[in-house]
Amino acid sequence: MIVRMWEVRAESYAVADLITWVCDTALPDFEHDPMHVSSEVYSSTDHRVVVISKWRNSPRPLPDPPALLVARPPHSWDFTQVDR
């Protein structure tokens, strides 16, 4: 399983709109992908929005959010579980 963490900093006035975009526009396309397991959305007090998505393999990237909603471009990282 691959876990992708996607993080973006919203403009201070646009946090709610960015969360709406993530939940209503970006993520619904993943729900029918057979490689997608689940996704969770988080926000922070410093205007960051994070999506944690789990994939069987080959994670798909989120589309770029509307530029007027973000203070800087999104970043993403892929992780795999460590056996211990």
- What are the Cα distances from residue 61, in Å, to 34, 80, 82? 15, 16, 23
Look at residue 29 in the predicted model and tell me its pLDDT: 86
Long-range contacts (CB closer than 8 Å, 24 or more residues apart) made by 35-44: 35/59, 35/60, 36/60, 37/1, 43/15, 43/19
Whole-number Å distance between alpha carbons of 53 and 27: 9
Look at residue 26 in the predicted model and tell me its pLDDT: 95
What is the number of alpha carbons within 13 Å of residue 76 lying toward its C-beta? 16
CATH number for 2-80 (one of 3.10.20.30, 3.10.129.10, 1.10.3720.10, 3.30.70.100): it is 3.30.70.100
Tokens standing for residue 49: 């929005």
pLDDT along the chain (84 residues), means of 10: 97 97 94 94 97 95 96 96 92
Look at residue 31 in the predicted model and tell me its pLDDT: 83
Its pTM stands at: 0.93
